[in-house]
Amino acid sequence: METISRFFQPPEDSFFLFGPRGTGKTTLVKYYYPNALMLDMLEPDTFRVFSAKPEILREKILAYPNKKVVIIDEIQKVPELLDLIHALIEEKKGLQFILTGSSSRKFKRKGVDLLAGRALLCFLFPFMASELGDLFSLTKGLKQGQLPVVLASKRPNHVLKTYISLYLREEVQMEGLVRKIGNFSRFLEAISFSHAAILNISNVARECHIDRKLVEGYIQILEDLLISSRLYVFTRRAKRKLVAHPKFYFFDTGVYRFLRPKGPLDSPHEIDGHALEGLVCQHLQGWINYTDSETNLYYWRTRSGSEVDFIVYGSVGLYAIEVINSIHIHPKDLKSLNAFKEDYPEARLYLLYRGKDKLMKGNILCIPCEEFLIQLCPGEWLD
């Protein structure tokens, strides 16, 4: 696969770069800093040395006086290094530290403060459609997702299977995050039905026959591993009674598709619809993060059942976005957006669908989903 330019632009200061495995963090930092001192904590020998004696990092840096950029890959494996890195930054030796990670769990568990703001906190997401350009295919994106490690493979389904088995199951077990991997495997299958839906933890617990508190812990593990996120209800200046529960999303559509059971009782259209909504979600999350603005992503749902899939709110404005897995637009598809407009007249309304024509229906701009995703670039909106 040809080299794809990413929207992420590394800052000049020291920074953390978090992102799930397979998003291309290591490839990215090696590209930008080919002459850096590189320490990979996934290498067994490197891990053993630095976990046993973190202070060796100072000696290692002193041995390479001409290298002013130090990359530590998968820093969460040895969080004890952060105290020394903090001290080295405070000594103002002109060093830039780039610390990549695919989990924040050990930092939370050990009470690490992520260098007390001495290093910026950055994130890397799966490919956005506008990064891929002509290489983007909505059909392929819905089936395989947007993970660089998957798209670069000639056997994407095999890579996804390996990703789930080695990363989501074996690494979770190896890190001692769960006691019974069988319970966690059943949980992964059960929680896949909650993708792009309101999260009901009690229902998930019943489905996989485990305690509710255990499910809460498993969801927190997924979030700490950056594998999933929760989308909360938009409540600013609320005029109607709203639901309280968040919605649940996996970080990548391909991961969702692989985890979601499929059989004669499962509707392909429903699965595709959740995949489409999830694909839009991961693009909006990437767009907000790379735009570097005070903006957040929500959803809106009243107790009477009116729901808008995504609300973008912040310094960029107020946008309401509904996603439908259909080539046709029916009046009922517009009802929730119009209800939101009644409460928030300043909002701009969008409906993303599987058709080919860009249409204006009252106050609602209807855009083919593929066109929307390809045109969505950080720092820009579609107006």
Residue 144 has pLDDT above 60, yes or no: yes
Tell me what pLDDT residue 265 has: 76
> Using CA atoms, how far apart are residues 230 and 216, in angstroms rounded to an integer?
12
Conformational region of residue 88, where left means phi above 0, alpha means psi within -120 to 50, and beta covers everything else: alpha
Q: pLDDT-based confidence at 292, cuts 50/70/90? A: confident
Residue 302 near residue 244, CB atoms below 8 Å: no
In a domain, 382, yes or no: no
Helix (H, G, I), strand (E, B) or coil at 96: strand
Residue 8 lies in a domain: no
Is there a single domain that holds both residue 202 and residue 114?
A: no
Total domains present in the chain: 2
Contact between residue 17 and residue 23 where contact means Cβ atoms under 8 Å apart? no
Residue 101 lies in a domain: yes
The domain boundary, picked from 54, 88, 123, lies at 123
Please check the confidence at residue 136 and state whether its pLDDT lies above 90.
yes
Residue 109 pLDDT greater than 60, yes or no: no
DSSP SS3 for 382: coil
Q: Tell me the β-bridge partners of 224.
A: none
In a domain, 320, yes or no: yes
**Residues 6 or more apart from 9 whose CB is under 8 A from it?**
none
In this structure, are 222 and 100 located in the same domain?
A: no
pLDDT in tens, 51-76: 999 999 999 999 999 999 999 999 99
Residues 318 and 222 in one domain: yes
Q: Do 58 and 146 fall within a single domain? A: no
CA of residue 191 relative to chain centroid, distance: 16
| Cβ atoms within 10 Å, residue 245 | 14
Would you say residue 1 lies in a domain?
A: no
Return the pLDDT at 113: 59
Bridge partners, 297 (sequence order): 312
Q: What pairs with residue 122 in β-bridges?
A: 17
Domain assignment of residue 381, yes or no: no
Q: What own/partner pairs with CB < 8 Å and gap ≥ 24 does 171-177 have? A: 172/221, 172/225, 175/105, 177/105, 177/221
Helices 181-191 and 201-208 sit at what angle, rounded to 10 degrees? 130
Two tokens at 253?
């559509």
Domain assignment present for residue 268? The answer is: yes
Per-residue confidence (pLDDT) for residue 1, from 0 to 100: 56
Question: What's the predicted TM-score (pTM) here?
Answer: 0.93
329 and 282 in contact (C-beta within 8 Å)? no
Q: What is the mean pLDDT of the chain?
A: 91
Q: Are 190 and 202 in contact (CB under 8 A)?
A: no
Which of 97, 123, 149 represents a domain boundary (last residue)? 123
204 and 234 co-located in one domain: yes
The amino acid that residue 213 corresponds to is: K
Place of tokens 């909505």: 138
Q: Using CA of residue 257, residue 260, residue 266, residue 272, what is the dihedral sign?
A: negative
How many alpha carbons lie under 13 Å from residue 334 in its C-beta half-sphere?
Answer: 14
243-276 pLDDT per residue, tens: 999 999 999 999 999 999 888 878 889 999 999 9
Sheet holding 295-301, edge to edge: 295-301, 307-314, 317-323, 348-353, 364-368, 359-361
Strands 228-231 and 247-250, by their bridges, are antiparallel
Owning domain of residue 311 = 129-375
Considering the domain architecture, whether residues 97 and 227 belong to the same structural domain is answered as: no
Question: In the prediction, which pLDDT does 177 show?
Answer: 64
Region of residue 314 (left: phi > 0; alpha: psi -120 to 50; beta: else): left
Element (H, E) at 336: helix 335-343
Burial class (CB in 10 A: 0-12, 13-18, 19+), 318: middle
Confidence class for position 22, pLDDT limits 50, 70, 90: very high
Please check whether residues 77 and 167 belong to one and the same domain: no
Position 176 scores a pLDDT of 61
| CA gap 356, 96 in Å, rounded | 48
In the chain, what percentage of residues exceed pLDDT 70? 93
Q: What is the pLDDT of residue 20?
A: 92
Angle at 123 between CA 121 and CA 129, to 5 degrees: 155
Same-domain pairing of 112 and 141: no
Whole-angstrom distance, CA of residue 335 vs CA of residue 38: 54
Of 123, 140, 173, which residue is a domain's last? 123
Give me the CATH number covering residue 47. 3.40.50.300
Give the largest Cα separation in the chain, rounded.
69
Residue 335 lies in a domain: yes
For the beta carbon of residue 241, count every other beta carbon within 10 angstroms.
9
**Would you put residue 350 in left (φ > 0), alpha (ψ -120 to 50) or beta?**
beta
Residues 278 and 246 occupy one common structural domain: yes
